[in-house]
Amino acid sequence: MLLSCLDSMSAIDVLRRVPLFADLAEADLCHFAEVARGREYPKNSVILFEHDPGDALYIVSSGQVKVVLVGEDGREVILSVLGDGDFFGEMSLIDDEPRSAHVIAMKDSQLLVLRRDDFQTQLVANPKIALKLLRVLVQRLRRADLSIGGLVLLDVNGRVARLLLDLAEEAGGPKITRRLTHHTIAQMIGSSRETVSRAMRELVERGCIEVSRREITIRQREALVALAGSRA
């Protein structure tokens, strides 16, 4: 069911948290909210399958999802883990290609969905969003380049350090509140859970990070930078 402007204040609040829409006027946000569809996905449900038609942008209102590639043997490689205010499916707004990966709910999640046609209609009225979208695509491409380089050039400790630095940068501070198990981290950096657990334990013992049930706090950024290689 389409959301009316009067009933879509929560949708507007979600859109405000997304950098792509953050600078829009209230009336423009309302236009996007009017065509947004809310959807709920229980934990472990598949939101998108690889090769599905790419016809919409998805915004995480609440919860956590993972973008994954699944091998023929069933093994997963996690490309990214997304939480509140993050979005995926942006490439479908540019081309007509199918989805390039699976997206799976890591816990009960609520999403907003903007269909390509609706988004492009609003884009005509707000062309600055196109520039923001291009910046997002470039940022994600740069991160992909770093990840590929890390897989080739860094040992597991270096890969863990680089991932933690990236997650802290996304969070805008030293605390990483995104819930990530050692198994999930292993799938993100191409390693085993046991090896990641050992690397995390070493980082804690060296005082580089502090780990609690709710968050990971970076204590010695310079030490992580050294492990991750040359980095600004």
Q: What is the per-residue pLDDT for 46?
A: 96
Express each pLDDT in 33-49 by its tens digit: 888 999 999 999 999 99
Rounded Cα gap, residues 92 and 133, in angstroms = 12
**Domains, in order of start, for the chain:** 9-129 (2.60.120.10), 154-228 (1.10.10.10)
Q: What is the per-residue pLDDT for 7?
A: 44
Q: What is the per-residue pLDDT for 2?
A: 43
Average pLDDT, the chain: 86
Name the pLDDT band for 128 (thresholds 50, 70, 90).
confident
> What is the pTM (predicted TM-score) of this model?
0.78
Longest dimension (CA), the chain: 54
Q: 219 pLDDT exceeds 90?
A: yes
Q: What is the per-residue pLDDT for 202?
A: 96
